[in-house]
């Protein structure tokens, strides 16, 4: 009845059940689910509370009640309930997982990590916990915790295949492919029918560009005869998608759905692929089928709403987004899309309702929405109140504050924002984000500041140091090159006194493309024990611009091996992948790239990423004599160069690498043509003595190879 949206009938049956069986907790939970779907939170809480009173030891009921308190922003009550659940049922791994999530939200990170590790020791195949441990350990700076936990479990249970599978996943950092494959082979020897082993093998091999081996891993010999499980059929489709064969991938995925169309995770994948392929009709159909199978899952609801929007049904999309936040008010994607649509359509009353719907789940996002709504209504008083509350709110450093400041600037309310940020800066525990926003705003509307106030501000704490970073960012954003250089030269002593301000200045010299100054500034990087990866990225850039690639590679290796996983490490991997390409390690280069989200990169690193990807694939295609792919490779290089052409002349390191890739691709294409029957050295003997058609084909191949070299020379000339 709920799936068919016959909510009143479902509620009537639920009430009849609790009237007939008032001491049956399951009946109260079913009724609570009806109220949850209807959005009646108070009634849902009453039903769950009744079930919990009847059987307080039932962990599932306790977790549901705690999850409701989380949706309402009542984190302390959720924590109390989950601590009781752990005490009453200490062998249920999900109790530890849910408690860990609440503790992490309350910023008690060590306790959260301890509980998530405990959950994994109780149940090593708890996939959600592994995913959270991987993410949280990075954010907490404990990079080896996931691997350490996996090794402990493998040592404790060495005869379970899943132990070695999880260890292989835990050590997958893009650089230890052989070790991962060896662990997976060990798992396969212990349990030859464990599907996840072959699935992981195919994923690793495809990410390394070894597509034929990945395809073979999806059809292991002697295990499932000619009919591998549907999971491996889907992985085979994913391999084709990763290899760039998008239409073939979608066709294979649809073929898998013909065997079993009741798998929501396959429809989820098809939904994403149709969206990325620009197939609006396919996107809408796949999202609708997925939603039919998981009608109350937030991601399925939001994807269906987005598909409606893409296909042009705006009102239906708004209704679907509204339904999503009724069920999951903390799902920010749906809230943001709905609020954007309401503002665009000037539906201000409905926008206010959206703010109220999410306030308990995400107070900071609700305050940002309130500021945007006040700006749309030209309500300065409401904007001032909401912005002051946002500055005072206890939010993570990555808060909505920068977006709020930009909204106020666009509304010509920058002086008000500056005043409130100054108040926030005077607080004893000023947020770093407040300092950065204040500094950036001062650069754009506040005017120059003398050296003495800066020194006092920096001495006040981290917020002051971040104000320097924001000030430099503001100057660069406004193209105020001379004031930025003047600031850096006037304040050398106190900028070098602290590592964060030193790193900010090094970033500014790099952003200005003042390579001699950047190199001189960053060359003492070894003397700073509290250095961070993003600072070393700028050192790496400066050393490479100077032509000192070996020392730059040493900097990147030091960052990846000795520093926590944080912003900047992905950029070090990109430069090391470039070195791999130059040294002929093409699979290793593609492995490093597989750990990086290309869409998150700026223009400079997107250009570098494209060159590395093209160069590595050119070498692999040359080995496989797949000359037809070289047109796509040249097209990718040309597109990347077009987007970056105006900046390439200021980038000596990238320019040198670009020239290398042009020569490399031309050589690979010539090699592929040679393996296909003729290289630059001439046709095969059989063809030279054969028919005129064979000679013509040989001549055509030779001309194509020459054209590849001419293409490389011409691109080098124009860039």
Is a pLDDT exceeding 90 seen at residue 249? yes
Instruction: Provide the pLDDT for residue 209.
Output: 84
In 3D, which of 43, 96, 89 has the Cα closest to residue 68?
Answer: 43
Q: How far apart are CA 193 and CA 220, in angstroms?
A: 10
Q: How far apart are CA 454 and CA 670, in angstroms?
A: 59
Instruction: Provide the pLDDT for residue 626.
Output: 53
Instruction: Locate all alpha helices (DSSP H) within 218-347, ordered by sequence.
Output: 230-242, 246-259, 264-277, 280-293, 298-310, 314-327, 332-344
Give residue-wise pLDDT tens across range 653-671.
Answer: 999 999 999 888 888 877 7
- In the chain, how many H helices and how many E strands? 41, 2
SS3 state at 210:
coil
Across 228-234, average pLDDT: 93
Q: What is the mean pLDDT of the chain?
A: 87
Is a pLDDT exceeding 50 seen at residue 3? yes
> How many other C-beta atoms lie within 10 A of the C-beta of residue 521?
25
Lowest mean pLDDT across 134-143, 164-173, 484-493, 672-681: 672-681
Instruction: Provide the pLDDT for residue 347.
Output: 94
Q: How far apart are CA 612 and CA 593, in angstroms?
A: 8
Q: What is the DSSP letter of 450?
A: -
Across 179-198, average pLDDT: 92
Instruction: Provide the pLDDT for residue 695.
Output: 52
The neighbouring-strand residues paired with 683 are: 678
Across 407-432, average pLDDT: 87
Across 496-506, average pLDDT: 95
What's the pLDDT band for 6 if we cut at 50, 70, 90? Answer: confident
Across 274-285, average pLDDT: 93
- Can you say whether the dihedral through the CA atoms of 38, 42, 46, 51 is positive or negative? positive
Lowest mean pLDDT across 318-332, 482-496, 568-582: 318-332
Q: Read off the pTM.
A: 0.73
In 3D, which of 660, 701, 676 has the Cα closest to residue 623?
Answer: 676
Q: How far apart are CA 469 and CA 488, in angstroms?
A: 12
**DSSP H or E stretch at residue 682:** strand 682-683
What's the pLDDT band for 537 if we cut at 50, 70, 90? Answer: very high
Is a pLDDT exceeding 70 seen at residue 689? no
Instruction: Provide the pLDDT for residue 494.
Output: 94
Burial of 434 (0-12, 13-18, 19+ CB in 10 A): buried
Instruction: Provide the pLDDT for residue 684.
Output: 39
Give residue-wise pLDDT tens across range 126-149.
Answer: 889 998 998 888 777 777 888 899
Is a pLDDT exceeding 80 seen at residue 204? yes
> How many other C-beta atoms lie within 10 A of the C-beta of residue 598?
12
Instruction: Provide the pLDDT for residue 622.
Output: 67
Across 283-310, average pLDDT: 93
Instruction: Provide the pLDDT for residue 711.
Output: 54
Residue that is written with structure tokens 């808060």 in the block: 399
**DSSP H or E stretch at residue 679:** strand 678-679
Is a pLDDT exceeding 70 seen at residue 675? no
Lowest mean pLDDT across 112-116, 429-433, 492-496, 627-631: 627-631
Instruction: Provide the pLDDT for residue 394.
Output: 57
What's the pLDDT band for 690 if we cut at 50, 70, 90? Answer: very low
């Amino acid at each position: 009845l709920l799936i068919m949206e016959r909510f009143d009938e479902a509620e009537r049956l639920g009430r009849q059940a609790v009237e007939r069986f008032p001491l049956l907790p399951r009946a109260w939970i079913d009724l609570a689910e009806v109220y949850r779907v209807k959005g009646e939170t108070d009634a849902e809480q009453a039903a769950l509370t009744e079930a919990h009173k009847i059987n307080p030891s039932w962990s599932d009921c306790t977790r549901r009640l705690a999850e409701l308190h989380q949706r309402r922003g009542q984190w302390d009550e959720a924590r109390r309930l989950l601590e009781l659940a752990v005490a009453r049922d200490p062998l249920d791994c999900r109790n530890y997982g849910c408690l860990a999530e609440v503790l992490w939200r309350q910023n008690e990170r060590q306790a959260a990590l301890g509980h998530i590790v405990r959950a994994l020791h109780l149940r090593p195949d708890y996939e959600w916990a592994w995913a959270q441990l991987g993410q949280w350990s990075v954010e907490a700076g404990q990079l080896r915790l996931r691997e350490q936990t996996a090794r402990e479990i493998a040592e404790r249970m060495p005869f379970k295949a899943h132990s070695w599978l999880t260890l292989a996943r835990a050590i997958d950092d893009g650089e230890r492919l052989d070790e991962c494959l060896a662990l997976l082979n060990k798992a396969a020897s212990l349990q030859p029918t464990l599907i996840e082993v072959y699935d992981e093998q195919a994923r690793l091999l495809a990410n390394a560009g070894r597509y034929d081996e990945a395809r073979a891993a999806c059809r292991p010999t002697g295990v499932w005869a000619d009919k591998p499980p549907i999971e491996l059929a889907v992985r085979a489709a994913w391999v084709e998608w990763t290899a760039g064969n998008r239409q073939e991938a979608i066709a294979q995925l649809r073929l898998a759905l013909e065997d079993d169309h009741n798998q929501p995770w396959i429809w989820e994948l098809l939904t994403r692929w149709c969206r990325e392929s620009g197939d609006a009709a396919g996107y809408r159909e796949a999202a609708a089928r997925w939603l039919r199978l998981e009608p109350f899952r937030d991601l399925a609801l939001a994807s269906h709403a987005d598909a409606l929007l893409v296909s042009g049904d705006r009102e239906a999309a708004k209704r679907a987004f509204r339904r999503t936040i009724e069920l999951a008010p903390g799902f920010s994607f749906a809230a943001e899309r709905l609020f954007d649509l309401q503002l665009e359509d000037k539906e201000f009353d409905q926008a206010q309702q959206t703010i109220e719907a999410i306030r308990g789940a995400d107070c900071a996002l609700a305050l940002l929405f309130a500021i945007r709504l006040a700006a749309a209504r030209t309500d300065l008083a409401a904007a001032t109140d909401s912005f002051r509350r946002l500055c005072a709110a206890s939010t993570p450093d990555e808060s909505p504050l920068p977006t709020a400041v930009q909204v106020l600037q666009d509304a010509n309310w920058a002086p008000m924002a500056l005043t409130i940020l100054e108040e926030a800066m005077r607080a004893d525990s000023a947020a770093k984000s407040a300092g950065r926003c204040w500094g950036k705003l001062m650069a754009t509307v506040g005017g120059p500041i003398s050296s003495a106030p800066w020194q006092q501000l920096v001495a006040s704490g981290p917020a002051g140091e971040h104000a320097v970073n924001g000030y430099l960012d503001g100057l660069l954003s406004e193209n105020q090159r001379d004031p930025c250089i003047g600031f850096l030269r006037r304040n050398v002593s106190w900028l070098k006194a602290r590592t964060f301000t030193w790193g900010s200045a090094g970033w500014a010299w790099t952003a200005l493309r003042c390579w001699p100054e950047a190199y001189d500034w960053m060359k003492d990087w070894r003397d700073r024990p509290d250095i961070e990866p993003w600072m070393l990225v700028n050192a790496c850039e400066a050393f490479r611009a100077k032509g000192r690639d070996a020392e730059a590679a040493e900097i990147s290796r030091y960052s990846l091996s000795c520093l926590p996983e944080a912003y900047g490490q992905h950029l070090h991997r990109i430069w090391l992948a470039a070195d791999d390409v130059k040294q002929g390690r093409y699979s290793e280069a593609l492995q490093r790239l597989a750990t990086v989200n290309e869409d998150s990169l700026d223009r400079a690193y997107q250009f570098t990423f494209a060159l590395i990807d093209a160069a590595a694939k050119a070498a692999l295609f040359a080995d496989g004599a797949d000359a037809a792919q070289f047109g796509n490779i040249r097209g990718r290089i040309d597109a990347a160069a077009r987007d970056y052409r105006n900046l390439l002349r200021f980038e000596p390191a990238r320019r040198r690498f670009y020239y290398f890739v042009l020569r490399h691709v031309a050589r690979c294409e010539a090699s592929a043509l040679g393996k296909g029957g003729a290289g630059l050295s001439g046709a095969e003997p059989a063809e030279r003595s054969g028919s005129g058609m064979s000679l013509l084909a040989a001549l055509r191949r030779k001309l194509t190879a020459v054209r590849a070299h001419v293409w490389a020379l011409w691109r080098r000339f124009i860039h």
